[in-house]
Amino acid sequence: MTKNHVVAAAALAIVVAASCKKDDAIQLPEKLYQPGVLVVNEGPFGSGTGTLDFYDPQTKKLESDIYQKVNGVPIGNIFQSAYFDLSYGYLVANNSGAVRVVDANNLKLVGTLEDMASPRYAVRTGTLSVAISDWASGKVFFYQTPSFVKLAEVESGNGPERMYYQPSSNKLYVLNSGGFFTDSTITVINTTNFQVIRKIQVPYNPNAFAVDKDGKLWVICGGKKDFTNPANNTPGALVRINTSTDQVELTLSFPDAGKFPSNLTINRDRDVLYFVDDKYFGGVYRMNITANALPSDPVINRTAYALAIDDIRGDLYLGDAGNFNQAGKMIRYTVPSLTPVDSQQVGVIPGNFTFR
């Protein structure tokens, strides 16, 4: 079993530590590929592998395919997301049904979780557990760390993806993005007993979130698309949720029901939102959290398949997937001026960024 690989590695570390003499020099863990930006490249759909690139904002140098360099094996297809806590990194390959658990310090493979059909995103839910959303099964899987024994499987909805964990309440908010169908809910799970507290009704297909300086949860929804009859389309929306009451306080609907709003992120001061009005053909917009209407004009006139703000250093990163078959592009902008700082060629389909 996969978890046995992880346990074996942990047991080995204990044996090695116990065998050291008292006068041996303390060996601190090496820290590779940090601080900086990790670029998650999905890779070609259905074949090949995703790749992980490292970008150093200070030197403006990019190193490609670092997971392969460290471990000598590919991540898998499609490389959806990367999440790091202080001990581990979770590299999620959804089409391969695999989560590569790596040492957070050096990216060395610790083990692989393979009991999910199509994992999408990971997030720590306390000091001793991690949650992973599984798109195909409609569930969220919880694992104990560092043993990686499965603690629970919780039914969430159609296509659960991104998740927000609120430590003060032990609540996990799961965005049910619709999967092969549609969904218009956010599932709230109590992470102490793995019970569903409630489902919050929102517009169709919630797909990304941001938390502002007041603790409000903003969620962007793609809307429902009927490709056989576009007259039946419903528009996407941006909503604000009070996490104390779990009530929707504000709903702002997008004017074009044919577009798919997504890629919501927030600046380092957590008072200005950035998002795209369409993941495949739109531009980048921004809005102050005090606004009561959506902005009408984009601040960046180019498609952003991926969009995220570095919450450590403050810059905005845009991923351009190009033709989805060849190397993509990463563009870095200063915030709030949105002056381009750097542009780098990255792997195929840059879909996410992780900041360390």
Q: Which strand (E) or helix (H) includes residue 329?
A: strand 327-333
- Write down the domain spans for the chain: 203-343
Return the pLDDT at 59: 98
Burial of 236 by CB count in 10 Å (0-12 exposed, 13-18 middle, 19+ buried)?
buried
Peptide bond into 261 cis (omega under 30): no
Return the pLDDT at 29: 60
The angle formed by the CA atoms of residues 119, 124 and 125, to the nearest 5 degrees, is: 110
Looking at residue 34, its amino acid is Q
Show the tokens assigned to 80: 């959806």
Quick one: pLDDT band at residue 180, thresholds 50, 70, 90?
Answer: confident
* Superfamily covering domain 203-343: YVTN repeat-like/Quinoprotein amine dehydrogenase (2.130.10.10)
Exposed e or buried b per residue across 74-93, where buried means at least 16 C-beta atoms within 10 angstroms of its C-beta: bbbbbbbbbbbeeebbbbbb
Is residue 355 within 8 Å of residue 310, measured between CB atoms?
yes
3-state DSSP percent of the chain in helix, strand and coil, to 5: 10, 45, 45
Return the pLDDT at 311: 97
Is residue 220 within 8 Å of residue 264, measured between CB atoms?
yes
Return the pLDDT at 47: 84
Chain centroid offset of residue 123 CA:
9
Pairing verdict, β 340-348 and 195-201: unpaired
Quick one: pLDDT band at residue 31, thresholds 50, 70, 90?
Answer: confident
Q: Per residue in 40-77, pLDDT tens?
A: 999 998 888 999 999 999 999 999 999 999 999 999 99
For residue 23, the 8-state DSSP code is T
pTM over 0.95: no
Quick one: pLDDT band at residue 120, thresholds 50, 70, 90?
Answer: very high
Residue 349 has pLDDT above 80, yes or no: yes
CA atoms within 13 A on the CB side of 71: 22
Is residue 74 within 8 Å of residue 99, measured between CB atoms?
no
Residue 232 has pLDDT above 50, yes or no: yes
- Look up tokens 């840059």; give the residue: 350
Contacts of 59 (CB under 8 A, 6+ apart): none
Which has the closest alpha carbon to 265: 245, 293, 232, 238? 238
Is residue 83 within 8 Å of residue 123, measured between CB atoms?
yes
Is residue 300 within 8 Å of residue 318, measured between CB atoms?
yes
CA atoms within 13 A on the CB side of 313: 17
Is residue 22 within 8 Å of residue 55, measured between CB atoms?
no
